[in-house]
Structure 1
Amino acid sequence: MPTILSFVFRLFLLAAGLVFAASLAVVFVIVLALWLLRAGWARLTGRPVMPFVMRMHPRNGFAMYRRAGAASRTPRADAAPLGRVGDVTDVEPKQRF
């Protein structure tokens, strides 16, 4: 009797895995069809075909980890004001010949 229950349990797990794999395949085919429809419409209307992307500015990528209003403990290169480039004195300009 335990052998039959073990066999039925394994068949149930196999069926559940197959259903899950089939559902993932269906979702993949639907997303692919939508993307192809979008790309076809873009080509038909003369627009460039652009991929699906998540737009994120590289400087703001880790902004969620910074505390609001907390000052940095170390000086940063981008903390210097942009208008004060003439104040740099330890760099000599390279002469071109």
Structure 2
Amino acid sequence: MNFIFRVILLLLGLVFAASLAVAVMLLAAVWGVRYAWGRITGKPVTPWMASMGGRFNPRSGFERFRNAARPGEPSAADTANARARGESVVRPERIRGSARDVTDVSPKSVSRG
């Protein structure tokens, strides 16, 4: 029984290897036909990745998720609306408050020059 099991596994491995070889040969044949057609017509043969949507950039996937974790920058409309309400753009706090809200500092005059 053990011998039959080994023979079956050997045959399955041979079938897998033969199908893999056939797939590689078909891929090589398709690539050869593309190359030959390009030589006949005089057009440059572009790599498959370039013809399937451009260059592959592995960094773009990492940047997309890294940028998603960062809080978005406020737009110009957000900045204008916050300033019109007297709020900070970074945090919704009042910029202009009454003087009685602040107890630990004293106001100083602004000198220009």
Q: Report TM bin, short chain.
A: 0.5 to 0.7
Q: Does 1:44 pair with 2:55?
A: no
Q: Does 1:70 pair with 2:66?
A: no
- Find 2:8's aligned residue among 6, 12, 16: 12
| CA distance in structure 1 between the aligned counterparts of 2:69 and 2:27, rounded to whole angstroms | 41
Q: Counterpart in 1 of 2:97?
A: none
Give the direction of change, closer, same or farther, for the CA distance of 1:7–1:58 in structure 2 (3 Å limit): closer
Q: CA deviation at 1:37?
A: 0.5
| CA distance in structure 1 between the aligned counterparts of 2:9 and 2:56, rounded to whole angstroms | 41
Q: Among the aligned pairs, what percent are the same residue?
A: 48
| CA distance in structure 2 between the aligned counterparts of 1:60 and 1:18, rounded to whole angstroms | 41
| CA distance in structure 2 between the aligned counterparts of 1:6 and 1:58, rounded to whole angstroms | 47
User: CA offsets per residue over residues 17-57 of structure 1, 9 Å max, x none?
Assistant: 00000000011011111110111111111011233336224
Which 5+ residue runs of structure 2 have no aligned equivalent? Answer: 72-113
Q: Counterpart in 1 of 2:31?
A: 35
TM-score (norm 2): 0.50
Q: How many residues align?
A: 68
Aligned residues: CA RMSD: 2.5
| CA distance in structure 2 between the aligned counterparts of 1:58 and 1:15, rounded to whole angstroms | 39
Considering Cα pairs closer than 8 Å and 6+ residues apart, tell me whether 1 or 2 has the greater RCO.
1
Q: Which has the larger radius of gyration?
A: 2
